[in-house]
Amino acid sequence: MQLYAKPFTLYPMIITYQGVEFFKVQYGDVVVAFNPISKSSKLKGARFGADIAVVSANLPDFNGVDAVTLGEKKPFVISGPGEYEYKGVLVHGLPAETSYGGEKMINTVYLVSLEGINLCFLGALNKKELSAEISEAIEEIDVLFVPIGGTGVLSSAEAYELAVSLEPKLIIPMHFGSVGAKNSLEIFLKEGGAPKSLEPLDKLTLKKKDLEGKEGEIVVLSGAN
């Protein structure tokens, strides 16, 4: 599946972090929610209407389609491996594994192309070694979302090692704070040579041209539980 859609530059992509692995990605009127926190989760999550809900693992902390269904917005749900296209968003899901929550289960890694920007969402991945299928499918990554908290997902050191090997332009850590190991963000920043005092952003506003010259730059978004 070709993941490179024709780029449009009228609107920027806006990425906000809602905690754990929950992200809101918006381009114009199109809203994509990644791993929304369910109302049945013990963790607090945001509520908004999404056009697409992308779920990597069928667990309450990640499968909150209910939380991103609001008014007339009822999302197209992507919850496993396969190839999808909806409202100009191209998605390729590939099977991997997680042990978050104590039991091994499928965690889907997603490659997403939205307006010429290529996202790779690793979800609750628990091994830094990727399958041949995933490795072959991954091409140019503009923005990589990587879990760093350990305890069922990648540790900070494993996460950074994998992130670097994938050569993304930007790296956004997730799954830290109360759901991750103590100091997981600080350890990840140290692995990446970034200062502990790196100021988290309320949101990341991005156009394709903003990625020029970027090589593995870490961006921390505020909003962790």
For 165, the token pair is 């090997």
Average pLDDT, the chain: 93
Q: Which residues fall within 8 angstroms of residue 216, CB to CB, at 6 or more apart?
A: 163, 164, 167, 168, 169, 170, 171, 192
Angle at 97 between CA 93 and CA 102, to 5 degrees: 135
pLDDT(4) > 50: no
The class of domain 13-218 in CATH terms is alpha beta
Q: What is the pLDDT of residues 148-178, one digit of tens each?
A: 999 999 999 999 999 999 999 999 999 998 8
| Residues 23, 17 contacting (CB under 8 angstroms) | yes
pLDDT at 224: 67
pLDDT(111) > 60: yes
Q: Which residue has the higher pLDDT, 1 or 153?
A: 153
Burial label, 207 (beta-carbon count in 10 A; 0-12, 13-18, 19+) = middle
Q: Work out the average pLDDT over 14-35.
A: 97
Cα–Cα distance for residue pair 82/99, rounded to 1 Å: 21
Closest CA relative to residue 69, chosen from 92, 90, 89, 46: 46
Segment (H or E) for 33: strand 30-34
Q: What is the pLDDT of residues 64-107, one digit of tens each?
A: 999 999 998 899 999 999 999 999 999 999 999 999 989 999 99
AA letter at 140: E
Helices (H), the chain: 132-137, 156-166, 184-191
